């Protein structure tokens, strides 16, 4: 009897499960009745959408007006208000631009001061460098470098330049000239051989 009772319970529960399955898949849909809260949320969402759409349209119209478009339907008060808005915006932009330029000027002046100080420091170092002797060897105590004077040279390497009185191209010592003049210097002119 136990088995029979158990099979009856299983059979009945299976029938109920099949009925629910058929209702869900093949039966007509149950009417979905929204709750009051859902209706209130939907209504407030629609109102918010309409407000945002009106605000967007107003901003688009204002932007066109600021750009100088669609000014015909505006009244004189609206035109004066638009003019005040443009003036205040222009003043604000000029103020920001002026502040930016002043900031840049201050930065450039500080850089100029820094470069001027660096230049002075380098000039002092350069002046000190000409006064102090130059040492290649740090162990050497004193090196004498005299920039303006030449050291005396040995006589064997120094030969003063003497000029040759006559410069003749293609002149060979054994040949006589066609003009019959001597190639040597005279008292009046050193280059008589060149004259006709």
184, 166 contact by CB (below 8 A)? yes
pLDDT digits (tens, 9 = 90+) for 70-125: 888 888 998 898 899 989 999 999 999 999 999 999 999 999 999 999 999 999 99
184 has a pLDDT exceeding 80 = no
150 has a pLDDT exceeding 60 = no
Give the residue extent of every domain in the chain. Answer: 38-127
DSSP assignment, residue 157? Answer: T
- What's the whole-model pTM score? 0.37
pLDDT digits (tens, 9 = 90+) for 21-37: 777 777 665 556 567 78
- CB atoms under 10 Å from CB of 65, counted, come to 19
pLDDT of the residue at 180: 47
**Number of residues in the chain:** 196
Which carries the bigger pLDDT value, residue 193 or residue 63?
Answer: 63
């Amino acid at each position: 009897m136990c088995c029979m009772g158990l099979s009856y319970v299983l059979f009945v529960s299976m029938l109920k499960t099949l009925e629910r399955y058929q209702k869900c898949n093949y039966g007509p849909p149950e009417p979905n009745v929204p709750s009051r809260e859902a209706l209130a949320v939907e209504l407030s969402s629609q109102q918010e959408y309409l407000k945002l759409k009106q605000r967007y349209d107003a901003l688009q119209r204002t932007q066109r007006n600021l750009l100088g478009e669609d000014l015909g339907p505006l009244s004189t008060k609206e035109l004066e208000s638009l003019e005040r808005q443009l003036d205040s915006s222009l003043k604000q932009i000029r103020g920001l631009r002026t502040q930016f330029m002043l900031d840049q000027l201050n930065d450039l002046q500080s850089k100029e001061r820094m470069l001027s100080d660096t230049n002075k420091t380098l000039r002092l170092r350069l002046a000190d460098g000409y006064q102090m002797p130059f040492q290649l060897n740090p162990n050497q105590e004193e090196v004498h470098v005299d920039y303006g004077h030449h050291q005396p040279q040995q006589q064997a390497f120094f030969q003063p330049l003497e000029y040759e009185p006559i410069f003749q191209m293609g002149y060979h010592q054994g040949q006589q000239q066609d003009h019959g003049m001597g190639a040597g210097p005279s008292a009046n002119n050193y280059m008589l051989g060149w004259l006709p």
